[in-house]
């Protein structure tokens, strides 16, 4: 069984993923795969360089993600172009990773993706879990973690589904605005449910 795990920026998806991992779940992160497909030598990086030029490439030939993010979050047309290049490649690579992890025999596999619904990756999963926190907490956590401006966080939030829509699409929700114990308790209950579903 493949479980999609998503949530807005700053909701704590990585922490929740590690909690599931401690209980035996395997996982693949769409953000990691998105970095893989723009590594030096990958076709997507070449396409990005051809469109945006040297400012989006570091001296060592790697992608300057901050410079690219600055461009695409200011211009929806540029973001759409970037997604048309990267999303199909991410999806193809995700399917390869999911197939491998399933073959390795984990009780279930998590597909961790901030844009699970927006990118259509929810078509790859059997159930979806949304990690949820209030928007004010998203803002403060993201600014603290990434050192970005409030306007940049708002631009990223605007590119993601509104919180209410994301929650409406969820099969399960983890409220991650409490403490670590509360989060672990919710993860343990879902882990037990997923194991029951896979054994049915």
Q: Which residues are annotated as a binding site for ATP?
A: 10-15
For 124, counting Cβ atoms within 10 Å of its Cβ (0-12 exposed, 13-18 middle, 19+ buried), the class is middle
| Sheet order of strands, 26-29 included | 26-29, 109-112, 2-6, 127-132, 172-175
SS3 147: coil
Give the annotated binding-site residues.
10-15
Torsion, Cα 174 155 115 50, to 10 degrees, reads: -160
Residue 118 carries which DSSP code?
T
CA separation (Å) from 135 to 81, 131, 148?
28, 12, 16
Contact status, residue 57 vs residue 63, Cβ threshold 8 Å: yes
């Amino acid at each position: 069984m493949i479980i999609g795990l998503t949530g807005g920026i700053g909701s704590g998806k990585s922490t929740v993923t590690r909690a599931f991992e401690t209980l035996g779940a395997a996982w693949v992160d769409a953000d990691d795969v998105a970095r893989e497909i723009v590594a030096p030598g990958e076709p997507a990086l070449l396409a990005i360089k051809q469109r945006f030029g040297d400012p989006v490439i570091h001296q060592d030939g790697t992608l300057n993600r901050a410079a690219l993010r600055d461009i695409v979050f200011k211009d929806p047309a540029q973001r759409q172009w970037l997604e048309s290049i990267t999303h199909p490649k991410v999806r193809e690579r995700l399917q390869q990773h999911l197939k491998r992890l399933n073959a390795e025999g984990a009780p279930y596999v998590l597909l961790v993706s901030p844009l699970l619904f927006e990118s259509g990756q929810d078509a790859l999963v059997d159930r979806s879990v949304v990690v949820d926190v209030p928007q004010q907490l998203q803002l403060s956590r993201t600014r603290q973690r990434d050192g970005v401006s409030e306007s940049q966080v708002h631009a990223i939030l605007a590119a993601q589904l509104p919180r209410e829509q994301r929650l409406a699409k969820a099969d399960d929700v983890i409220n991650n605005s409490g403490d670590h114990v509360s989060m672990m308790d919710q993860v343990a209950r879902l882990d037990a449910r997923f194991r029951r579903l896979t054994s049915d």
